[in-house]
Amino acid sequence: MSDVQIHVSDLIPCSVVIEADATFFNRHEGLCIFHAPKLKKVLTYAFIESETALIYKTLRNNIEQHGFIVLAAVIDGRKGIKEVFADVPVQMCQYHQLMILRRYLTMNPRLEAGRELKIICKGLCDISRSEFELQFVQWCDKWADFLKERTYNIDGKWRYTHRRLRSARRSLMTNLPYLFTYQDYPELEIPNTTNYAESIHSKIKDLLRVHRGFNTELKHRLLKEILAN
């Protein structure tokens, strides 16, 4: 990790809910930001070569050393990041969860079980925890035997026939405790997605596409100016 920057000079330290998110401009060049939606400010960021829990831990330490108190965090669900915020409420970005499910189910699931799960998850952002859990549990029960089906090779070795559906189920089971945190703490006004942070990343990517010829130093200088505002 290199070049961690703090932009808090014009802000009075306070308690914040943060959106923590990373994006990559190419294979080995990316940006990780901590954005405070209520303040509409990027509190800290790092230019990164890979996304690790250490990056998030360092950025959290940075803002806390400057007097900010993290009340809750919205994250994309990458492995190890939840542990960085284990002492505060964590919201898994529902948009990222939907993207994970789309990868496993595809846009047009071939199997009935996949089509049913897609319909259930389509309402993820507009449903209560109890309603979603009920629908998901009912789906799991209905298709339990189906998901246990195995395909055997000539040599006698086997694999689960519906591995992508099983992966979709596992993803939801793993992230379910964090998908509706925003409903558990209404007083904190936790966003259910990292959309604010994503919009910043999107604007930066659009700008970099226009200035493709910039070398790394010029690119970083440009991004620092944008993120400081």
* pLDDT tens, residue by residue, 113-143: 999 999 999 999 999 999 999 999 999 999 9
Residues 218 and 169 in one domain: no
The verdict on residue 102 lying in a domain is no
The verdict on residue 99 lying in a domain is no
Domain region containing 191: 1-89+185-229
Residue 99 has pLDDT above 90, yes or no: yes
The verdict on residue 96 lying in a domain is no
Q: Where does the pLDDT of residue 211 fall: very low under 50, low under 70, confident under 90, or very high at 90 and above?
A: low
Residues 11 and 84 in one domain: yes
The pTM of this model reads 0.85
Task: Give the pair of three-digit tokens for residue 109.
Answer: 């699931």
Residue 9 has pLDDT above 60, yes or no: no
The verdict on residue 98 lying in a domain is no
pLDDT score at 159: 93
Q: Where does the pLDDT of residue 223 fall: very low under 50, low under 70, confident under 90, or very high at 90 and above?
A: low
Length of the chain, in residues: 229
Q: Considering only CA atoms, which of 130, 129, 56, 124 is closest in space to residue 95?
A: 124
Residues 161 and 215 in one domain: no
Q: Which of 137, 153, 176 is the last residue of a domain?
A: 176
Residues 171 and 189 in one domain: no
Average pLDDT over residues 199-225: 62
Average pLDDT over residues 99-119: 95
pLDDT score at 215: 61
User: What percent of the chain is predicted at pLDDT more than 70?
Assistant: 81
Residues 75 and 7 in one domain: yes
Q: To the nearest whole number, what is the mean pLDDT of the chain?
A: 86
The verdict on residue 47 lying in a domain is yes
Rg (CA), the chain: 20
The verdict on residue 101 lying in a domain is no
pLDDT score at 225: 62
pLDDT score at 186: 96
Average pLDDT over residues 16-38: 87
Q: Where does the pLDDT of residue 77 fall: very low under 50, low under 70, confident under 90, or very high at 90 and above?
A: confident
First to last CA, the chain: 23
The verdict on residue 55 lying in a domain is yes
Residues 131 and 212 in one domain: no
The verdict on residue 104 lying in a domain is no
pLDDT score at 182: 97
**Who contacts 146 (Cβ-Cβ below 8 Å, separation ≥6)?**
113, 162
Average pLDDT over residues 37-62: 89
Residues 162 and 200 in one domain: no
Total domains present in the chain: 2
CATH of the domain at 225: 3.30.420.10
